[in-house]
Amino acid sequence: AAPRRSPRALQRHSSLLAQYSALLESYTEGEIRQLISALVERYRQAMNSGGHELPLFPRAGSRRKRARARHKPCELRELEVSVSELGLGYESDETVLFRYCSGTCEAAVRSYDLSLKSMRSRRKIRKEKIRARPCCRPLAYDDDVSFLDAYNRYYTVNELSAKECGCV
C-alpha cells in the first residue's frame, strides 16, 4: 500500500480568516479604503520600476509574462551607483550614472549563422563558446568619467557607460 497524504485541516485556514476578519472589523471604512489605495499604489510603483515584488495574482498569466520578459528589445538603461560599486577596484563614495545595454536581439538568420551551425554539426568547431545569435551590447560609449577616490586621488575611466546600444 502506497503512503497517502493526510487531508489538509480546514480549521487552520478558517482561524486565519477569522483573525483577518476581526482585524478588518476594527478599522473604519475610510481607513480600509486608504489602506487598499496605498497597497495598490505600492504595487503600481513596483511594477513601473521593474521591481520583482510578488504580483497580486501570481498565477494569472504568469507564462505570458515570462514570455514577454524574455523578448524585451535591446535598449539603453541607467542606474545611479557609487564608484566603489562598479567593481573596478576604486574606493570612492562619489556616484555616477551607469548606463548599460539590456534586452534580447531577434535578428534574421544570416549566412554566417547557417555556416556556423553547419560547422558545429560536422564537428569542425568543438569546445569553443560561440554565440550563434547576436547579443545586446554598447555600440558607443559616453564621455570619460572622472572622480576622486577616498584618498583624494583623481582618476579618469574611459568606456565606462554605454551611450548607444544595438545587436552585435
In a structure prediction context, what are the per-residue pLDDT tens digits for the chain, which is 168 residues long?
Answer: 566 666 555 555 556 667 667 777 777 777 778 888 888 888 777 777 655 545 555 555 665 555 555 578 899 999 999 999 999 999 998 999 999 999 988 766 678 878 888 888 888 887 677 766 778 999 999 999 999 999 999 999 999 999 999 988
Question: ∠ CA 6-12-18 to the nearest 5 degrees?
Answer: 155
Classify residue 119: in a domain, yes or no.
yes
Classify residue 44: in a domain, yes or no.
no
CATH number assigned to the domain comprising residue 112: 2.10.90.10
CB 167 within 8 A of CB 104: no
The pLDDT, as a whole number, for residue 85 is: 93
The pLDDT, as a whole number, for residue 67 is: 56
Q: How many domains does the chain have?
A: 1
CB 74 within 8 A of CB 57: no
Classify residue 40: in a domain, yes or no.
no
What is the model's pTM? Answer: 0.52
Domain that holds residue 113: 75-167
Classify residue 23: in a domain, yes or no.
no
Distance CA 34, CA 129 (A): 55
Which secondary-structure segment (H or E) carries 97?
A: strand 95-102
Classify residue 149: in a domain, yes or no.
yes
The pLDDT, as a whole number, for residue 163 is: 96
The pLDDT, as a whole number, for residue 90 is: 93
